[in-house]
Amino acid sequence: MQIRFKRKSRAMGAIVLSVLITTYLASCGGQKSESKDGAAVPGNPAPAFSLTDIDGKTHSLSQYRGSYVVLEWINFDCPYVRKHYESGNMQSLQKEFTEKGIVWLAINSSAEGKQGHFSAEEIRQRSEKLGANYSAYLLDTNGQTGMAYKAKTTPHMYVIDPEGSLIYAGAIDDRPTSNLKDVEGATNYVRQALEASMAGKPVPKSKTRAYGCSVKYAG
């Protein structure tokens, strides 16, 4: 009986040890994955980038250090983008915060030949027709900046604080439709994040699920 008990104890010990090792390895694997994907996670430094606008001027994130920066992934032909521009929602939000000194950068990651890829002149004309109030419209034709931020949809919104940390990533609001009528009464996550942070308060929602058309990357 004593021998059986010892064998049973050793077997149980081996099982417990195996479970502990498996749990530890899984934990390590999770930490690696989180670290690898952490570049575009709220609370981390926002990925650096340098892109040209439609006039050929270069804009680097580093040059806006000390200011709040909003990044808006854009595609004029996407019905979800049209929802926020045809309703005037996006322009009024841009105007409201750029007047407070916030830098608002629209970024287009549509590859050449894909939906949403336009000439500089067409972008200029469309921007003027819509009355857009972004600080600059940036071209990310190779998609490197979009992929660094893991931008998946248009629109996909990001807010960066004056220290260069990402404080919000996700949808513009809580109404994931292309219906213009859904703009009214929606909770605007971008406004919410900016107002909270500018008041020295925690951002209520730092990450939400973005909605819209897929970003038209190359390939």
Q: Tens digits of per-residue pLDDT, 136-149?
A: 999 999 999 999 99
pLDDT of residue 40: 82
CB contact at 8 A, 189 and 171: yes
Which parts of the chain register pLDDT below 50?
1-38
Q: What is the pLDDT of residue 30?
A: 30
Q: Domains of the chain: which residue ranges?
A: 2-36, 39-214
* Four-residue CA torsion sign, 204, 209, 212, 218: positive
CATH topology of domain 39-214: Glutaredoxin (3.40.30)
The pLDDT score that the predictor gives to residue 219 is 80
pLDDT for 35: 31
pLDDT value at position 48? Answer: 97
- Helix or strand or coil: residue 215? coil
Structure tokens at 96: 């409201």
